[in-house]
Amino acid sequence: MVDAITQPDTQPSTQPDTLPTHGIDWGYHGQWHWQGQSCHWRRLGNPDHPALVLLHGFGAGSGHWRHNASELAAGGWCIYSLDLVGFGASSQPALWLDNRLWARQVQGFLEQVVQQQAVVVGHSLGGLVALSAAVFFPQWVRAVVAAPLPDPTLVMAKHARSPRRRPWRRRLKRWIVILLCRLLPLELVVPLLAHSPLLDLGIQSAYATPVVGDQELHRLIAKPARRPGAVRALRAMSVAMALRPHGATAPALLQRLGRPLLLIWGRSDQLVPLQVADQARRVRPELPLVVLDHSGHCPHDEVPGAFNAALLEWLKPLHNQGMPQPGLPRR
């Protein structure tokens, strides 16, 4: 079910020429209902153009593409962005939130809202989700961009064979993970972080250049973290991501991927260091890698000009192919 497209609260007019094209309120906004969850999404550009879907990273939302949507739309793409369940302005349920569920959400979004195949671009966690969607639902994903691709299992990529654990060991791991996540005082920690200067320190750790004082960025991260469902969603995704099966990890997904994939990395990324890209390319040596100077974990937001240029250049062959048929794989 798709609700009518609405304007952000800060924009009273519905005329296209008055839509915000930059900043965290960019684009048309809409609500889409998927499997009982309310999902916030947005769009910028001509719907008759090929679709490009932007997925945010952990703790962020679709507004984090504030410096990218307009230039990418000007490059001939219709830009969509989706708040993953648990993040942004979407529902924050106590569901089993992992990259498999988010991949199903992306597939449903492509089928019901976008209604055509799309290139899916993901920042950090969004990159893992984009990769997952391309593997599990290749008929809907033309290509993937991961900027960057985070997964602790990548540092063990050379040992990426499916582990054969005894049943009692799997049950023990599950019990320990659930117990630890229940014992974590998230009800105290999350509100403390969301309402204190510690949040700005956490945001700064994702950037190579100073961003303290960027009130728009602070609001983007702080607002979802202050919602009543933030703690339960964080606890649910902590358990689910820790207990993923091997087939849902990045090394296994890379081995199965049948779509083009571009890796983009910030040279000064301290959260997912550049060495992780090397591990991904050990699994798939043919993967192209673009490394952007003067940027950390958020190259799309920190050096948007260089990021947009690199992305549009890589997308040229796909754009020249024109519009794909809805739900039909390209050959």
214 inside domain: no
Residue 247 CB partners (closer than 8 Å, separation 6+): 162, 253
The two three-digit tokens of residue 327, written as one number: 């739900």
CATH label of the domain that carries residue 135: 3.40.50.1820
The two three-digit tokens of residue 89, written as one number: 């302005």
70 inside domain: yes
Exposed e or buried b for every residue in 185-203, given b needs 16+ CB within 10 A?
ebeeebeebbeeeebbeeb
CA distance 51 to 186: 38
What residues make up the domain containing 140? 20-159+247-320
293 inside domain: yes
The amino acid at residue 319 is H
The two three-digit tokens of residue 25, written as one number: 């309120």
Q: Which has the closest alpha carbon to 243: 170, 163, 164, 166?
A: 170
310 inside domain: yes
pLDDT at 329: 43
258 inside domain: yes
CA distance 88 to 37: 13
CA distance 171 to 159: 22
Q: Are strands 37-44 and 28-34 parallel, antiparallel or unpaired?
A: antiparallel
| Structural domains counted in the chain | 1
Residue 65 CB partners (closer than 8 Å, separation 6+): 26, 54, 56, 79, 81, 300
The two three-digit tokens of residue 178, written as one number: 């659930």
Q: What is the pLDDT along the chain (331 residues), one digit of tens a residue?
A: 555 444 433 333 334 558 899 999 999 999 999 999 999 999 999 999 999 999 999 999 999 999 999 999 999 999 999 999 999 999 999 888 999 999 999 999 999 999 999 999 999 999 999 999 999 999 999 999 999 999 988 876 554 455 555 665 555 454 454 545 554 656 666 666 677 788 898 999 999 999 989 999 999 999 988 888 888 788 888 888 888 899 999 999 999 999 999 999 999 999 999 999 999 999 999 999 999 999 999 999 999 999 999 999 999 999 888 666 555 443 3
The rounded mean pLDDT for the chain is 86
CA distance 302 to 290: 15
pLDDT at 310: 98
The total of other beta-carbon atoms located within 10 Å of residue 327's CB is 14
260 inside domain: yes
268: number of CA atoms within 13 Å, CB side?
Answer: 13
Residues 261, 144: contact at Cβ < 8 Å? yes
CA distance 148 to 303: 14
pLDDT at 138: 98
